[in-house]
């Protein structure tokens, strides 16, 4: 018969009532908690019988195998009234009492609430407050980017901003229920009553579940969207590898601590393994960037790969035969789930006079995947000094020309699936306008 079993259980960091109920139920079924590592709980089989359980939240040194003086103090006091310390983790201690009607470990709600708050402040609570502050800062930076540079932000970081927002919600969902429970618990305790933590803890569980579902769905959707599938797949795989590596380091540290390895040795070994892991991770990242070219605009699955000549539109295609000369060609771009922005430049390196034409064409193609963003793209890209021109020449829905221009004639063209800003080193002819329309007027997505 199995004498041990492992299960995963995610309980809010302050939800002692849920933990107690769960462990007391397990004890009646014959399972006593033996070890906790993160969300993995290990139980050992024993005779099924009722037990009373209590949880305390004294912070322990993550490397030191010996319990702290405070924990020793509490353990001695608990043993005097039949409470046995069964499991201890860096953030939580579990006491069992097998008597039928033991004296509870906590008999004063005020002392319990204040003691719990004091313990949590030294550990998880401070961490969550710091993370919440960081997440809020990220959110504000993202909001600022959206206001100041909406197209750049949406084309480069739309998914990351969504992820930042979801993380903010998740961290808030861990922290805010506790803060609300604590404030109410203090008032209730002043009247000699106890406040159950479970309603607040439940909020966290539901939010976390929703976050995991949304996050996994987001990954699937992101992988389906082209281009740069390899790059996105790499981000997901490297994220998973990082999480696995992190868990391994924490597990190794925990094993060393339980085997009573000295604090110094534990610290050194954990640091060494972490360092090697980070080096290996960075090495793989560098290889992917430089050797396989997965993040480059020239990679095989990028948006550019559909144009064998490198650019959708070239000076030669527009002007026909041109004088022999050197060109500087540049292409760049980024794409998200909602927007893509691609820059294509072909700039003549031949020197010309101020009134002469230049064999130069430069364009920015903004792919509008979400129709609701079309007007935002147009309004953001439109210049202060502009005039509307006949869009039919460009086979476009709307067309504008910049009136205050230098040597380059600049036009903004609105098509169904993209908005294009294009600059010519000469005055384009009607045939050239039509060629632009044929190139960008189709389905660019």
Partner 1 sequence: MARVKFQTLSEQMFYVLLCLREERCGIDILDQVPTMTDGRVRVGSGTLYNLLEQFLDAGCIEETRVEGRRRSYLITPKGQEMLDQEYQRICAQARDYLRWTGEEGHP
Interface positions with partner 1 (CB under 8 A): 54, 56, 70, 72-74, 76-78, 80-81, 83, 103-108, 110-112, 114-115, 118, 183, 186-187, 189-190, 192
Closest to partner 1 by CB, 140 vs 180, is 180
Please tell me whether residue 39 adopts helix, strand or coil conformation: coil
Closest to partner 1 by CB, 194 vs 248, is 194
User: Using an 8 Å Cβ cutoff, are 106 and 112 in contact?
Assistant: yes
> Minimum distance from CB of 84 to partner 1 (Å)?
12
Closest to partner 1 by CB, 80 vs 291, is 80
> Minimum distance from CB of 193 to partner 1 (Å)?
12
Closest to partner 1 by CB, 114 vs 267, is 114
In angstroms, the CA 116 to CA 99 distance is: 25
Closest to partner 1 by CB, 84 vs 217, is 84
CA-to-CA dists, residue 20 to 44, 197, 212, 428, angstroms: 17, 11, 26, 77
> Minimum distance from CB of 222 to partner 1 (Å)?
47
For 73-90, b/e burial (b = at least 16 CB within 10 A) is ebbeebeeeebebbbbbb
In angstroms, the CA 422 to CA 315 distance is: 12
Q: Which two tokens stand for residue 419?
A: 């908005």
> Minimum distance from CB of 338 to partner 1 (Å)?
47
User: Using an 8 Å Cβ cutoff, are 400 and 387 in contact?
Assistant: yes
> Minimum distance from CB of 98 to partner 1 (Å)?
15
CA-to-CA dists, residue 164 to 108, 194, 215, 373, 415, angstroms: 41, 36, 11, 21, 32
> Minimum distance from CB of 79 to partner 1 (Å)?
8
CA-to-CA dists, residue 332 to 343, 363, 365, 435, angstroms: 5, 11, 11, 22
In angstroms, the CA 246 to CA 107 distance is: 40
User: Using an 8 Å Cβ cutoff, are 230 and 294 in contact?
Assistant: yes
Cβ neighbour number for residue 238 with a 10 Å cutoff: 14
User: Using an 8 Å Cβ cutoff, are 359 and 319 in contact?
Assistant: yes
Helix residue ranges, H only, 191-228: 198-224
Closest to partner 1 by CB, 98 vs 152, is 98
Closest to partner 1 by CB, 63 vs 83, is 83
User: Using an 8 Å Cβ cutoff, are 43 and 51 in contact?
Assistant: no
Closest to partner 1 by CB, 3 vs 107, is 107
> Minimum distance from CB of 247 to partner 1 (Å)?
31
> Minimum distance from CB of 44 to partner 1 (Å)?
24
- DSSP states of 75-136: HHHHHHTTPEEEEE-SS-EEEEE-SSSPPPS---HHHHHHHHHHHHHTTHHHHHHHHHHHHH
Closest to partner 1 by CB, 190 vs 282, is 190
Please tell me whether residue 168 adopts helix, strand or coil conformation: helix
> Minimum distance from CB of 195 to partner 1 (Å)?
12
Closest to partner 1 by CB, 76 vs 356, is 76
Closest to partner 1 by CB, 77 vs 271, is 77
> Minimum distance from CB of 72 to partner 1 (Å)?
5
> Minimum distance from CB of 64 to partner 1 (Å)?
16
Closest to partner 1 by CB, 70 vs 409, is 70
Q: Beta strand 93-97 with 327-335: parallel, antiparallel or unpaired?
A: unpaired
> Minimum distance from CB of 45 to partner 1 (Å)?
28
Please tell me whether residue 15 adopts helix, strand or coil conformation: coil
The DSSP 8-state label assigned to residue 294 in this structure reads T
């Amino acid at each position: 018969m199995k004498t041990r079993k492992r299960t995963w259980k995610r309980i809010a960091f302050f939800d002692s009532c849920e933990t107690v109920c769960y462990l007391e139920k397990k004890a009646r079924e014959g399972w006593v908690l033996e070890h906790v590592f993160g969300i993995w709980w290990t139980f050992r089989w024993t005779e099924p019988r009722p037990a009373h359980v209590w949880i305390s939240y004294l912070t322990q040194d993550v490397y030191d195998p010996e319990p702290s003086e405070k924990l020793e103090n509490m353990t001695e006091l608990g043993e005097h009234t039949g409470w046995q310390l069964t499991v201890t983790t860096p953030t939580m201690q579990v006491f069992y009492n097998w008597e039928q009607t033991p004296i509870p470990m906590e008999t004063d709600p005020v002392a319990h609430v204040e003691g719990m708050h004091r313990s949590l402040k030294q550990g998880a609570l401070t961490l969550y407050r710091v993370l919440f502050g960081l997440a809020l800062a990220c959110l504000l930076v993202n909001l600022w980017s959206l206001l100041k540079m909406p197209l750049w932000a949406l084309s480069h970081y739309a998914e990351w901003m969504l992820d930042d927002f979801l993380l903010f919600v998740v961290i808030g969902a861990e922290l805010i229920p506790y803060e609300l429970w604590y404030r109410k618990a203090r008032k209730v305790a002043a009247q000699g009553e106890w406040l159950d933590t479970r309603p607040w803890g439940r909020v966290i569980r539901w939010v976390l579940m929703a976050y995991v579902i949304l996050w996994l769905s987001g990954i699937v959707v992101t992988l389906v969207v082209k281009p740069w599938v390899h790059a996105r797949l790499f981000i997901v795989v490297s994220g998973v590898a990082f999480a696995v590596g992190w868990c391994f380091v924490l597990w190794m540290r925990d094993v060393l601590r339980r085997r009573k390895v000295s604090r110094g040795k534990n610290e050194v070994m954990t640091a060494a393994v972490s360092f090697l892991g980070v080096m290996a991770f960075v090495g793989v990242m560098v290889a992917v960037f430089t050797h396989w070219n997965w993040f480059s605009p020239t990679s095989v699955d990028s948006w550019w790969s559909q144009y064998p000549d490198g650019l959708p539109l070239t000076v030669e295609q527009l002007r026909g035969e041109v004088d022999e000369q050197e060109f500087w060609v540049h292409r760049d771009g980024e794409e998200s789930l909602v927007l893509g922005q691609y820059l294509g430049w072909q700039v003549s390196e031949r020197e010309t006079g101020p009134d002469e034409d230049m064999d130069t064409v430069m364009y920015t193609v903004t792919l509008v995947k979400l129709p609701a963003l079309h007007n935002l793209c147009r309004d953001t890209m439109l210049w202060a000094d502009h005039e509307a021109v006949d869009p039919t020449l460009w086979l476009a829905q709307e067309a504008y020309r910049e009136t205050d221009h230098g040597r380059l004639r600049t036009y903004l063209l609105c098509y169904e699936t993209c908005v294009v800003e294009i600059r010519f080193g000469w005055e384009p002819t009607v045939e050239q306008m039509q060629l632009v329309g044929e190139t960008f007027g189709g389905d660019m997505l």
